[in-house]
A and B are shown apart, each in its own frame.
Chain A
């Protein structure tokens, strides 16, 4: 499978600050990247889908001005949580896929745990 990294693996920040999370596809070109959020003991909730070089598509209920996504290259996507609040504390996971593989499976990063104080 593909190798996907995320940085940082965990972050603690004060309420009102912004936090940037990086997602890197290390061994193949990721035409599409996905950002998920996962609360304790719950399944993954898709936040947005981003295609390289174009604007992200956000799921219903996800504020695009609060969760800024940039997918400037085939190996890097970033998620910025702006003006973070305690309710934004969660586990954020990215995944990558490549349509050239002929099927639409996804490979996940290790996740970033965000705690907002």
Chain B
């Protein structure tokens, strides 16, 4: 079993839809949770960072962490074609090494 599971998609939604991206994990020691966005042939860009459980909102993006269920989510409101990318969840303990999900490919069509 992988430490972090993420549905690879692709996920295709119309412009303006609410997108829900999710990851599950098995290691209860994880404390730091991140979402990265990666456009084709580019390096990942940090979107959201969350420590422990709870919600965090930044513009159209909301990150949720439920440590009791070992489940994290990223919500994108009013999705735009420019949001089309691969979204990677990542997490770690008190060390630098990040554990990544496989990434979910999102396509927002006009």
Interface contact A91-B100, CB-CB below 8 Å: no
Given contacts A49-B96, A104-B92, contact A93 B44 (CB under 8 A): yes
Interface contact A43-B96, CB-CB below 8 Å: no
Interface size, B (range)? 20 to 34
Interface contact B88-A44, CB-CB below 8 Å: yes
Shortest C-beta distance, B72 to chain A (Å), equals: 14
Bound CA span A107–B34, Å: 11
Q: Which residue of B lies closest to A10 (CB)?
A: B41
For residue A110, CB closer than 8 A to chain B, the reply is yes
Shortest C-beta distance, A95 to chain B (Å), equals: 8
| Chain A contact residue count (CB 8 A cutoff) | 25
**CB contacts between A and B, total, < 8 Å:** 57
For residue A42, CB closer than 8 A to chain B, the reply is yes
- 8 Å CB contacts to B: which residues of A44-102? 44, 46, 49, 91, 93, 95, 97, 99
Interface contact B36-A104, CB-CB below 8 Å: no
The interface of chain A, by Cβ under 8 A from chain B, is 1, 4, 6, 32, 34, 42-44, 46, 49, 91, 93, 95, 97, 99, 103-111, 113
Interface contact B45-A104, CB-CB below 8 Å: no
- Enumerate the 5 nearest inter-chain pairs by beta-carbon distance, A residue then B residue, closest first: A108-B43, A111-B43, A43-B102, A110-B43, A108-B44
Shortest C-beta distance, A108 to chain B (Å), equals: 4
For residue B94, CB closer than 8 A to chain A, the reply is yes
Given contacts A32-B96, A104-B96, contact A91 B41 (CB under 8 A): yes
- Residues from chain B with Cβ under 8 Å of A97 in the complex: 96
